[in-house]
Amino acid sequence: MSEQNVLHDFAVAQNRGGAFARFLRLIRFSHTVFALPFALSALVVSANGRPSLKIVLLVLGCMITARTAAMLFNRFVDWEIDQRNPRTRSRHLLATRNIIFICLIFSSALFVFFAANINRLTFALSPIALGIIFFYSLTKHFTDATHFFLGLALGIAPVAAWIAQTGRLELPPLVLAFGVVCWVSGFDLIYATQDYDFDRDEGLHSLVVRLGLAASLRVAQFLHLLMLLALIAFGITAKLGPIYFAAMIPIAAALFYEHRSARQLHDLAAINRAFFNSNAFVSAIFLGAVCADRLL
C-alpha cells in the first residue's frame, strides 16, 4: 500500500463520527483522566471527605474548560508544526484553525466564569492559571525543559482545587503539586521519545534529543521516584491513614510496568500502552485511596 493510500485511510478514520466526536479527539479528551483525579483528591482531603455538590461541579467545570482551552491553544499555535509531524499531521482534519480559535475563546471564558462562581481568590487567580497552561505550548520553541512546564500546567490543579474549597493555600496541596509535576514530566519524557527523529530534524527544543533516548528514560525513572516520595509526603502532611499508604504499592507497580514497557523504543504501541494505561491506573488508584481513607 502506498504512503498516499495510508494517509487517505488515516484521514477517513480521523473524520469518523460527528463533529462533537472529532472535537473530543482533537483535544484528546480521554487524557483528562490524568490530572482530574488529583484535583478531586485535593478537594476531598481539604473538605475532609465531604465537599459540597456545588464546589464539586464548579471544580469539574474549571478542570474540563481549562484543559480544553490549553489543548486548543496548543493546536492553534502548533498548527504548522503538527502538519509536518507524522504522528500529528492529521489533526488539521478534525477542525479548521478558525474553529479552534473560536472554541479557545469560548472555553477560556467559561473557565473564568466557573472560577468566578467559586470564590474571589479563584476568580483573581484564573487569568494566571490560563497563562501558565498556555505558556507550556510556547516553551518547546526556546527551552528543552518543556516537559517540566507541562508538569507545572497540570500540577496547579490540586492547588486550585484546594483553594476552591478552603479559600487559602496550605502545605499539603503544594506537596501534591510537586508530585504531579514530577509524574507528568516523567511520563511526558517517555511519550516524547516517539518524536525523537522529528524534533531533531526540525531543530525543536527537546530534552529527549539533548540527552538521547536511554538517558531520557533514566531521568523519567528518577522523576517518578520523586513522585512516589511526594505522594508519601502528601499523605503525611494531610494526615491520611493506612488505606492511602497501602495504595502506594500498586501505584509503584504501575510505574514499574510503564518504564518496563517504555524500554521497547521500537514499539510505538507499547509506548502508548505504557503512557495511557499505566498513568490512568495511577490516577484512578490515587483518587480511590484518598476517597476510601476520608470516607471509610
pLDDT digits (tens, 9 = 90+) for 200-210: 767 677 888 88
CB 214 within 8 A of CB 220: no
Residue type, position 201, single letter: D
Rounded CA-CA distance 219/206 in Å is 14
Q: How far apart are CA 38 and CA 214, in angstroms?
A: 29
Higher pLDDT, 25 or 259: 259
What is the separation, in whole angstroms, between the first and last Cα of the chain? 58
pLDDT at residue 277, as a whole number: 81
Q: Quickly count: other Cβ atoms within 10 Å of residue 237's Cβ.
A: 16
Angle at 178 between CA 174 and CA 180, to 5 degrees: 115
| Position 195 pLDDT exceeds 70 | yes
| The dihedral sign for the CA sequence 123, 233, 152, 84 | negative
Say which CATH architecture domain 17-295 belongs to.
Answer: Orthogonal Bundle (1.10)
Fill in the DSSP letter of residue 93. G
pLDDT band at 30 (very low <50, low <70, confident <90, very high): low
Q: Is the pLDDT of residue 88 over 70?
A: no
Q: Is the pLDDT of residue 284 over 90?
A: yes
Using the predicted structure, report yes or no on whether residue 11 has a pLDDT greater than 50: no
Give the mean model confidence (pLDDT) for residues 31-44. 86
Q: Which residue has the higher pLDDT, 76 or 177?
A: 177
- Residue 91 pLDDT > 70: no
pLDDT of residue 265: 58
Banded pLDDT at 5 (limits 50, 70, 90) = very low
CA distance 135 to 137: 5
| pLDDT at res. 87 | 59
Q: Looking at residue 9, what is its pLDDT?
A: 42
Q: Contact, 192 vs 208, CB < 8 A?
A: yes
Q: What would the grid cell of residue 27 be?
A: 483535544
| Contact present, 99 and 30 (Cβ < 8 Å) | no
Q: Which residue has the higher pLDDT, 208 or 62?
A: 62
pLDDT in the model for residue 90: 61
Over the stretch 249-273, which tens digit does the pLDDT of each residue have? Answer: 999 999 998 888 877 655 666 666 6
Q: Is 287 left (phi over 0), alpha (psi -120 to 50) or beta?
A: alpha
Per-residue pLDDT, 13 = 47
Amino acid, res. 294? R
Contacts made by residues 222-227, CB under 8 angstroms, sequence distance 24+: 222/186, 223/182, 223/183, 223/185, 223/186, 223/189, 224/182, 224/183, 224/186, 224/187, 224/255, 224/258, 224/259, 226/178, 226/179, 226/182, 227/179, 227/180, 227/182, 227/183, 227/186, 227/255
Q: What is the dihedral of CA 192, 198, 203, 205, to 10 degrees?
A: -10
Average pLDDT of span 112-116: 97
* Confidence at residue 74, expressed as pLDDT on a 0 to 100 scale: 85
The whole-angstrom separation of Cα 150 and Cα 147 is: 5
State the Cα–Cα distance between residues 24 and 20, nearest whole angstrom. 6
Q: What is the mean pLDDT of residues 104-117?
A: 96
Per cent of the chain over pLDDT 90 is 53
Of 85 and 195, the one with more pLDDT: 195
Whether the pLDDT of residue 54 is over 50: the answer is: yes
